[in-house]
Amino acid sequence: MDANTFIEFLANLPDYRQQIVHTRYIPPQGALPGSLDRPLSPRLKALLDLRGMSSLYSHQVEAIDAVFCGKHVMVATPSASGKTLCYQVATLEAVLNDRDSCSIYLFPTKALAQDQLRSLRELACPEILSERDIATFDGDTPQSERSRIKKHARVVMTNPDMLHFGILPNHKSWSRLFRNLKYVVIDEAHVYRGVFGSHVANILRRLRRICALYGTCPQFICASATIANPGEHAARLIGLPFVSIVTSGSPQGEKYFSLWNPPFIDKARSARRSPNSEAAFLLSQLIRHDVRSLVFARTRKLTELIYIYAREQLPHSLACLINPYRAGYLPEERREIERKFFSGELLGLVATTALELGINIGDLEATILTGYPGSIASAWQQAGRSGRSAESSLSFLIAQDNPLDQYIMRHPDFFFSKNFDNVLINPDNPYIRNPHLLCAAWEKPLGPGDEQFFGESEQVLATLEDEGMLRKRREKWYPSFPLTYPAQDVNIRATRESYSIIDASRSCLLEKVEASVAFSQIHPGAIYLHQGESYIVTDLDLSRRTALARPSPTDYYTQSMELTDIGIVHPDREKICHSVKVYYGDVEVTNHVISFKKKRQLSEEVIGEEALDLPPQTFPTKALWFDLPQKAVDRITVAGLDYHGGLHACEHAAIGILPLFALCDRNDIGGVSTPFHPDTGRAQIFIYDAHPGGIGIAEKGFEEVIDIWQTTLGVIRECPCTNGCPSCVQSPKCGNNNQPLDKKAAVIILEELMS
């Protein structure tokens, strides 16, 4: 594909409306080879030569040298830079030097584990390892194979979920592996952030503890997309010091990266065409030009919608060449889609971030990002799925109608030159750590010496004893219910339990959703999309955590609305910024889903709204909040503007901008604004972590609050709308239907905050 020619083709279409606001040409980069300090074993060197890998890149050499020196290593270089070979070489060298050595490879998805299984077998079999020496162990592994893997596998590829509830609780049956464990590989380490990453950090501490029980202290090798704090993140994830390798010596093909802003449909209100429609249009054009393409969508629902839109724009002969792909599908469905796409039977795929990771998709030529994915690292990771190695490629970033995406459209240099983001985790979050302490006690009674893994936890253990979860005997802590399997009750991808969606027409499970989003996604009347088919939710059983849904072809989708209240529990820190007090501490948030809207597909027209009768949900978390300058109140009063509307607009815009400063999704944070808060007696704006216990996002916002104010002011000032729009101060999740909002008052408030 000639990427530049395709961009010109789009710009010459009759309906083109200047959507391409910027195209950045990224020139190719030549390879930078290196030489190891210590030569590899002759057998491994000969094998690499045979596979065409005789020359290692500089970052691979640096990583392998550090591993051979006994260090824990984090390799954080771009997509397709050859990070996999760093840990494969270390693993195979260990096998040649010690026939009993074993390794665990940890991947965040089953698809990635399957891909790496193929990769290692192609490299090492049969010269160094037999195919039976390498195995995946996950929920899809047949029961008949599991005993053999435990007894004989040298390299076990698994995921955090299976390590958590399948391997660690049954460590006695894995004793051979733990007694000989040389390396633990953590691939795609940047994925382990937020709630998920905090869970995984505790699982890895449990892993280190079990290894110590069997007399081993394995080395950890982490691989990650480029992030701002690779060494710090690895250290917090594992609990050990790390060496970071961040400069890549791999070749890169040329890439054209276009920023695509949907056109206005109502310029007076700055309302833009749906980014989902734009993504479907671009995908259909790429498919018509026989370009292998991958579209990334932010949510499961949008994955299905974009697929439906694109399918309708293509003739049947081409529509059958595209497919949706996301979490929630049954394992056999995912494996079949993967097989078809990797083999070339499918020409296009619409996926969630399940395919963002380092899966070798082959000759993929184009990627489409539907909305900024929340971090620079994820954006480049997704774009890097196309044009792997030295091939030419094309990527589009389609802006959503929100402050963050529109800021990037107006400031392309920010996107292309910005330093990468910080990954945030909080392993000490009690809502995450405490359940893992119960799991650890079940695996081996907790006692003296365990502080090296979990920190000082005597008080926490005493609290768990008071709650009846642990019992103390002879300076050790045991589970109060020794026959209960605590790991099966801990959902590591969330902080709360999940809900099951049942197809009432066939009495079968469709999929599961996290409890934190259940009320907003599977409330009665909600339209739920699965494999391109729409279902209407007829009943939500709160006690059984199940939703009944029936197939229901519709031309609309649903969007829930919710109200939020916040109470201050305890301020932990405060500081003065430009004569304004800023606070950080513990709060309690109450969310109440009150209604939902029906929106027409493609046009986004609101065709109805219905009230809901659901209970409020309350949880403790962390927040930042700040006072408001009196001078801003005076100026707004003199100008006859709406002070409450200005606060509300500031809150929306600041929440939209915070992901620029913390590696998070817009849905990971929430906000509340009020002209009078009962806990302080003053006007306040709050920004909080939308997960129980907090995961560090609000704390990062507290540290960067002046830059957040400055950037938010720039976003609102630069937006061409008159009274406020989704690109600056409106929020699609606002429970008050974006009322009141006052853009001019918001500018005054931010000017005074910065004065």
Is the pLDDT at 269 greater than 80, yes or no?
A: no
pLDDT band at 540 (very low <50, low <70, confident <90, very high): very high
pLDDT tops 80 at residue 32: yes
Percent of the chain predicted with pLDDT > 70: 95
Q: How does residue 530 score in pLDDT terms, banded at 50, 70 and 90?
A: confident
pLDDT tens digits, 548-599: 999 998 889 898 888 899 999 999 999 999 999 999 999 999 999 999 999 8
Establish whether the linkage from the previous residue to 659 is cis, with ω within 30° of 0.
no
Candidates 210, 138, 205, 169; CA nearest to 485 is 169
In the predicted structure, residue 663 carries a pLDDT above the cut 70: no
pLDDT(294) > 70: yes
Q: Which of 72-76, 315-319, 347-351, 370-374 has the lowest mean pLDDT?
A: 370-374
Cβ atoms within 10 A of the Cβ of 669, count? 24
| Locus of tokens 């202290």 | 217
Contact 377, 227 (CB under 8 A): yes
Encoded amino acid at 547, one letter: A
Is residue 735 very low, low, confident or very high in pLDDT (cuts 50, 70, 90)?
low
Answer yes or no: is pLDDT of 356 > 60. Answer: no
Any residues with CB less than 8 A from the CB of 667 and at least 6 apart, and which? 517, 690
pLDDT greater than 70 at residue 1: no
Domains and CATH numbers, the chain: 3-27+252-417 (3.40.50.300), 43-160+184-190+217-245 (3.40.50.300), 430-489 (1.10.10), 498-554 (no CATH), 563-593+617-754 (no CATH)
For residues 380 and 395, what is the distance between their CA atoms, to the nearest angstrom?
10
Confidence of residue 354 (pLDDT cuts 50, 70, 90): low
Q: At 266, is the pLDDT very low, low, confident or very high (cuts 50, 70, 90)? A: confident
Q: What pLDDT sits at residue 54?
A: 87
Whether pLDDT at 357 is above 60: no
- Looking at residue 231, its pLDDT comes to 96
* Placement of tokens 């960067």 in the chain: 704
Report the pLDDT value the prediction gives residue 360, as an integer from 0 to 100. 57
Tokens representing 189 are 């380490």
Residues linked to residue 395 through DSSP beta bridges, in sequence order:
257, 367
Structure tokens belonging to residue 478: 């045991």
* Integer Cα distance of 697 and 424 in angstroms: 7
For the residues 256-279, what does the mean pLDDT come to? 87
Find the mean pLDDT for residues 1-21: 92
Task: Quick: pLDDT tens for 222-253.
Answer: 999 888 899 999 999 999 999 999 999 998 88
618: closest CA among 709, 535, 531, 519? Answer: 519
**CA neighbours closer than 13 Å in the CB half-sphere of residue 525:** 17
What spatial distance separates the first Cα and last Cα of the chain, rounded to whole Å? 52
How does pLDDT run across 479-528, given as a tens digit for each residue?
998 778 899 888 887 656 789 999 999 888 888 888 878 998 999 999 98
- Given a cut of 90, whether residue 333 has pLDDT beyond it is no
Mean pLDDT across the chain? 90
Give CA angle at 547 (541, 548), nearest 5°: 110
Distance, CA of 383 to CA of 598 (rounded, Å)? 33
Spatial separation of the C-alpha atoms in residues 330 and 325, rounded to whole Å = 11
Backbone angles phi, psi at 602, to 5 degrees: 75, -55
Q: Quote the radius of gyration of the chain (alpha carbons, Å).
A: 26
Greater confidence, 339 or 248? 248
- Sign of the Cα pseudo-torsion (443, 446, 452, 457, in order): positive
Mean pLDDT: which of 262-266, 417-421, 583-587 is highest?
A: 583-587
DSSP-derived letter for residue 302 is: H
pLDDT in the model for residue 716: 94
Q: Nearest CA to 116 among 147, 137, 146, 96?
A: 137
Residue 364 pLDDT grade (very low, low, confident, very high; cuts 50, 70, 90): confident
pLDDT of amino acid 392: 84
The arithmetic mean of pLDDT across residues 733-741, rounded, is 78
Sequence-separated contacts (24+) of 306-310 with Cβ below 8 Å: 306/276, 306/279, 306/280, 306/350, 306/370, 307/350, 307/532, 308/529, 308/532, 308/601, 309/276, 309/277, 309/279, 309/280, 309/601, 309/602, 310/279, 310/280, 310/281, 310/283, 310/284, 310/348, 310/350
- pLDDT at 64 (0 to 100): 98
pLDDT digits (tens, 9 = 90+) for 440-465: 999 999 998 899 999 888 889 998 99
Whole-number Å distance between alpha carbons of 91 and 105:
10
pLDDT at 673 over 90: yes
